[in-house]
Amino acid sequence: MLCSPTIATRCGTKPQHETLTSLDTSVGGTVRFGDGSLVNIEGIGSVLLQTKQNGHKVLSEVYYIPKLKSSIISLGQLEEGGCKIVIEDGYCDVFDTERSLLARAPRVKNRLYLLKMKLAAPVCLMAKADDSAWLWHGRYGHLNFRALRELGTKGMVEGLPQLDRVEQFCDGCALGKQHRFPFPQVASYRAEKPLDLVHADLCGKIKPSTAGGKNYFLLIVDDHSRYMWVELLTTKDEAFKCFKKVQALAETERGCKLRAFRSDRGGEFNSIEFKQYCDERGVKHFTTVPYTPQQNGVVERRNRTVVEMARCLLKSKGVPGEFWGEAVSTAVYLLNRAPTKSLKGRTPFEAWHNRKPKVHHLRTFGCIANVKVAGPGVSKMSDRSIKMVFVGYETGTKGYRVYDPISRKLHISRDVIFEESKGWDWKPHAQADPVTSVFDVEFYTVAGQGSK
């Protein structure tokens, strides 16, 4: 999960509409109780809770059932989500995934356990721009504070100060992340060396298309280092070409050959041409059982994390959905420099490149960028900078990707002054309202919630 120790659970509940940090009314169904009665589900969302230390925890996949008189939480599904439940001496104690006490509920007369918790509201990130911890939270794509502390205290990156803050959610986190039950975290096999095994997954079709007409992205993950590559595609049949491009780059960087490759049964990786390519190069190709994406869980989990972070990047600054490609590329860039449970004390970048990444250059996605005007045609009296929008990092150069909403052109520049607390007013230039429409993925709805 991107946002700290969270609880992945389903519960029947009767919160007022305003108490849910997110609500997808397209989800329906019924819940049957012990007496055989049925009640209708009118949506699913998340509830943000406040701890005694003023931190935040999330109850996600909460069923919205207006007819219920009381909120009900399933202990069994709390346990499935990684929590620990201890019932003794008249109390029910709930510990989160980090084994910190989340809640204590006393037993009441009807032998139920009554839990009283304070609801919280997401923090406005714009109002916290002068706070170092919140500033880096925004720069790092809304990475949770536990991971930010780990990066700083363990010296996993260069250029990040040591941050100490209780876990909290900002408005971008609440809007951008929809937590679901995790796939099994322990794989039966783990590659011993880079390129012993890589995983790939094609995500899309995505709407709206990017300005360049891209509708999909291909995510490739090295099993050993968890380092990722991403390629934006116009059509699915470009996957083979992009895979060969990434393979050539990775083999050149590591000085070794790809040994095995795992994917689902998508047609883009099951063609005769692709099989012949793998046979000629001695690459083993493993595929999942039909309708069982969990068998390719490494890339499935990373895929979900990339999509959620991209959604946070867009929503936090109100950037239109057509920039999902820039957001996805930026998310991969940041996650390669972020902690993962699969590695101890190292980032994927260090595991792949054998050196610590530098992060002093990170800036908040979607913020105002004052770009120095250079080149021919600049007179002595003309402006020396133009306000643009920061949309990512340029691979292979020490430059930033900035977009001019007026001319609708993308630029690469290293001479930029950032106003990280400010965002662009997109409404005059966007076709869709960026607050309510980010981007949608087939079978994995990203603007409204869904499932892949």
Domain count, the chain: 3
Give me the helix-helix angle, 145-153 and 132-139, nearest 10°: 100
409-413 and 400-404 strand pairing = antiparallel
d(CA 86, CA 451): 31
Mean of the per-residue pLDDT values for the chain? 82
Question: Per-residue pLDDT for 123 more than 70?
Answer: yes
- In the chain, % helix, strand, coil (3-state, to 5) comes to 25, 25, 50
Query: Is the same domain home to 95 and 205?
Result: no
At 54-83, the pLDDT tens digits run 788 777 778 888 877 777 777 877 787 778
Query: Is the same domain home to 412 and 376?
Result: yes
- Measured over all CA atoms, what is the biggest interatomic distance in the chain, rounded to whole angstroms? 82
Average pLDDT on 129-137 reads: 87
Answer whether the bond into residue 208 is a cis peptide, omega within 30°: yes
- The label of the residue with tokens 């595609």 reads 233
Task: Tokens for 302, please give them.
Answer: 């990373």
Query: Is the same domain home to 312 and 403?
Result: no
Query: Is the same domain home to 103 and 136?
Result: no
Q: What is the pLDDT of residue 158?
A: 94
Q: CB neighbours (10 Å) of residue 270?
A: 13
- CATH number, domain containing residue 315: 3.30.420.10
Rg of the chain over all Cα atoms, to the nearest angstrom: 23
Helices (H), 232-281: 239-254, 272-281
Window from 23-27, 29-33, 272-276 with minimum mean pLDDT: 23-27
**Within a domain: residue 434?**
no
Q: What is the pLDDT of residue 17?
A: 54
**Within a domain: residue 274?**
yes
- CATH number, domain containing residue 94: 2.40.70
Q: Which of 115, 118, 33, 28 is nearest to 75 (CA)?
A: 115
- pLDDT band of residue 211 (cuts 50, 70, 90) is very high
At 222-247, the pLDDT tens digits run 999 999 999 999 999 999 999 999 99
Q: What is the pLDDT of residue 439?
A: 83
| 384 contacts: CB under 8 Å, gap ≥ 6 | 372, 373
Query: Is the same domain home to 154 and 112?
Result: no
**Within a domain: residue 323?**
yes
**Within a domain: residue 90?**
yes
Question: Per-residue pLDDT for 11 more than 60?
Answer: no
| 264 contacts: CB under 8 Å, gap ≥ 6 | 201, 287, 288, 293, 296
**Within a domain: residue 31?**
yes
Query: Is the same domain home to 251 and 326?
Result: yes
- CATH number, domain containing residue 393: 2.30.30
Domain boundary among 66, 93, 119: 119
Query: Is the same domain home to 209 and 319?
Result: yes
Query: Is the same domain home to 134 and 114?
Result: no
**Within a domain: residue 436?**
no
* Rounded alpha-carbon distances, angstroms, from residue 97 to 20, 58, 352: 22, 12, 28
Instruction: Tell me which residue range forms the domain holding 25.
Output: 7-119
**Within a domain: residue 124?**
no
d(CA 254, CA 300): 24
- pLDDT band of residue 383 (cuts 50, 70, 90) is low
**Within a domain: residue 437?**
no
More confident residue, 326 or 295: 326
pTM higher than 0.85, yes or no?
no
Average pLDDT on 126-148 reads: 88
Window from 47-51, 190-194, 376-380, 403-407 with minimum mean pLDDT: 376-380
CB-CB contact of 288 with 269 (8 Å): no
Domain boundary among 119, 150, 172: 119
Window from 219-228, 238-247, 366-375, 398-407 with minimum mean pLDDT: 366-375
Query: Is the same domain home to 338 and 375?
Result: no
Domain boundary among 69, 100, 119: 119
Q: What is the pLDDT of residue 246?
A: 96
Question: Per-residue pLDDT for 94 more than 70?
Answer: yes
Question: Per-residue pLDDT for 97 more than 90?
Answer: no
Query: Is the same domain home to 339 and 448?
Result: yes
Query: Is the same domain home to 329 and 375?
Result: no
Query: Is the same domain home to 166 and 288?
Result: yes
